[in-house]
Amino acid sequence: VMPETAAVAALDLLDDLDGLLERRARVAAKYNEAAPLMGALRQQVRPGDRHAWVHWVGRLPGRRDAVAAGLARAGIQSKPYYAPVLHRHDWGGLAEPAPPLPVTEALADEVLALPMSSELSTADAERVAWAAVRWATGRP
């Protein structure tokens, strides 16, 4: 059940949904442009589909933590998107042992979400993208 105030806010956003999606798409385009330069494998969108870009997530094998730390030093918030994974928690004997989950574990160790908002400007997105490139390539 959604509280009434949240429902009113959501209805208000519907009027600008196309604009909101377009602004997020512009931010994602800047990140997508920089992804190959930072060595990031990025989310894919199937032909004919439209991504809402609620998050922009890239896979940075061997560089995720360095990029996140560098971005943090620059005052840019990021998030290891799939971490922590539930099968790594100590459930104190309350759960059955998990089988090996190599893809899940790789994603938990390598994936980073960059800031995403319809309120970010193109200049903000460029600042984030190029800071990530600098840290991913070891040229801070």
Cα gap 71→55, rounded to integer Å: 17
Peptide bond into 84 cis (omega under 30): yes
Would you give per-residue pLDDT tens digits along the chain (140 residues)?
A: 778 888 887 787 787 888 999 999 999 999 999 999 999 999 888 999 989 999 999 999 999 999 999 999 999 999 998 777 888 888 888 888 888 899 999 999 999 999 999 999 999 999 999 999 999 998 86
The answer to whether the CB of 43 falls within 8 A of the CB of 51 is: yes
| DSSP three-state, residue 19 | helix
